[in-house]
Structure 1
Amino acid sequence: MLESISRIRHHLYPPHTPEITITQAARGTAEGHFPYDFGSNSTMTNANIVSMVTGSDRRELNLAYKGGNIQVTVPENVPVVTPVPASRTDLIPGKKVFLVVTPTETNMYDAHVVFVEKNGVAPQF
């Protein structure tokens, strides 16, 4: 089944991104097209790029994931971001962050993943 949707944000994770390591054994574990909590009728797609066509005002991506594929329109005004290495010195007051955390027994939080604004580019989550 081929669906077609339009994106308001898009993340590209190149192969071998040090911050996001996916072993071959784990590849495909989170692949798919799912409802998402960003807003009404929002979805998340975890997939591989099969092909891309660039037009004057948008990009068309053909994505494949375990069990399906989808065609995605990415308008030119949509940010396309890729994680880059950062350090603790990038965590300063006023920077935008996105964290994946779990609560502890002492009402604190343990961070498992931290994305921080760098060179003026804020996390797009």
Structure 2
Amino acid sequence: MLAALHGMGAAFEPHQCFPAATQPESTSLLHYVAEAIMLAKRTRKNQITLPKAIVQRVGEADDYDVTVQVGKIVLTPVRLQQADAVRAKVERLGITQDDVDEAIAWARKRA
């Protein structure tokens, strides 16, 4: 199939699929399809290793926000500034470490 796509001489417009900061280096359809076929295998412990090319495209992060959107698992890198914003909001709301500990204990009882 890849050879057929390449033989068509088709080109696609990366701006249609990617934000400007994450556009692929090539505009050939073959390049796009080859980059899109990346797998991350889940271990028995629900751990995955992200493909290096994907991490390079979005930038490295130690933490990711994990959501489900239309049946897909979406990982969004969490940058330090976002964590700082959360800490500031928690402080503004007057939430203490004791409040967090109590909430965790309550949630664990219900699980």
Q: Which has the larger radius of gyration?
A: 2
| Structure that is richer in strand per residue | 1
Select the structure that is richer in helix: 2
The structure showing larger relative contact order (alpha-carbon pairs under 8 Å, at least 6 residues apart) is 1
Would the TM-score normalized by the shorter structure come out above 0.5?
Answer: no
TM-score by length of 2: 0.22
TM-score by length of 1: 0.21
